Amino acid sequence: MNQSLISKAFSPENFRKQGHQLVDMLGDYLDKALQGSEPVNQWHDPEDQLKYWQEDFIEGDKELENFFKNIIDRSLHMHNPKNMGHQVAIPAPETALAGLLTELLNNGTVVYEIGAPAVVLERIVSKRLAQEMGFDPDKADGFMTSGASLANLTALMAIRNIKASKDVWSKGNGKQYALMVSEEAQYCIDKAIRIMGLGEAGIIHIPVDNHYKMRTELLESSYQA
């Protein structure tokens, strides 16, 4: 690779310039979005969107500022009060700045040596969340994941490893395990159970009442069945 390209990519001055430009653009976006003065979404059909970005990739403007602007213009403006919301939360601007910090430092949380502050903060946040949920923070613990599917998969695997009669990690399931869940459970539970290799038979749906609460009186009969 051309050394000048590497130097340019890691140039502190370029970073400052582009960073200030981006923050200004995002500040302008927030101003307009929070006022609801522009549409929530400038809709484009999937094929049109694909064609646009394919052409941009091959022939587009090489200025990063223009790339950022196009991304903003063609994205869903979640901070607009007219946005009904779907699946993901509305990020506070300060969290975006924290994201910038962590993206540049790129410290992992797999082991303490490569991400000491992040590892410690993860533990503090996990215990605080456990406390808010009514658990004993001295006994409860956890870690952060990227979303519900991975979170539920991790939790269900932990439960299986605790409840199984043998070392599932080394010897496999061996026999059919199943989990009882509300029939209103989010699809990520179903997905996690299938990823674990338990299949459709590994999911026992328990009916709910008029308030969408699981009918716990049916647990025993469902278990026996």
Q: For each successive 10 residues of the chain (225 residues), what is the average pLDDT?
A: 81 95 97 94 95 88 88 95 86 95 92 94 95 94 87 90 84 85 93 91 94 95 86
Cα–Cα distance measured from residue 39 to residue 55, given in angstroms and rounded to the nearest whole number = 25
Q: Cβ-count burial of 105 within 10 angstroms (0-12 exposed, 13-18 middle, 19+ buried)?
A: exposed
Residue 138: count other Cβ atoms within 10 Å of its Cβ.
9
Residue 205's closest CA among 188, 161, 192, 223?
Answer: 223
pLDDT at residue number 223: 87
- Paired residues of 208 in beta bridges: 214
Find out whether 159 and 176 touch, Cβ atoms under 8 Å.
no
Looking at the fold, whether 219 and 199 belong to one and the same domain comes out as yes
Domain total of the chain = 3
**Phi, psi dihedral angles at 181 (to 5 degrees):** -135, 160
Cα–Cα distance measured from residue 194 to residue 178, given in angstroms and rounded to the nearest whole number = 10
pTM of the model: 0.77
Residue 180's closest CA among 159, 162, 216, 205?
Answer: 205
- Enclosing domain of residue 8: 3-105
Q: Cβ-count burial of 65 within 10 angstroms (0-12 exposed, 13-18 middle, 19+ buried)?
A: middle
Looking at the fold, whether 118 and 179 belong to one and the same domain comes out as no
Cα–Cα distance measured from residue 149 to residue 155, given in angstroms and rounded to the nearest whole number = 10
Cα–Cα distance measured from residue 89 to residue 101, given in angstroms and rounded to the nearest whole number = 20
Looking at the fold, whether 21 and 86 belong to one and the same domain comes out as yes
Looking at the fold, whether 99 and 40 belong to one and the same domain comes out as yes
Looking at the fold, whether 50 and 21 belong to one and the same domain comes out as yes
Looking at the fold, whether 7 and 100 belong to one and the same domain comes out as yes
Name the token pair of 141: 């613990």
Looking at the fold, whether 16 and 101 belong to one and the same domain comes out as yes
Ramachandran area for residue 106 (φ above 0: left; ψ -120 to 50: alpha; else beta): left
pLDDT at residue number 60: 66
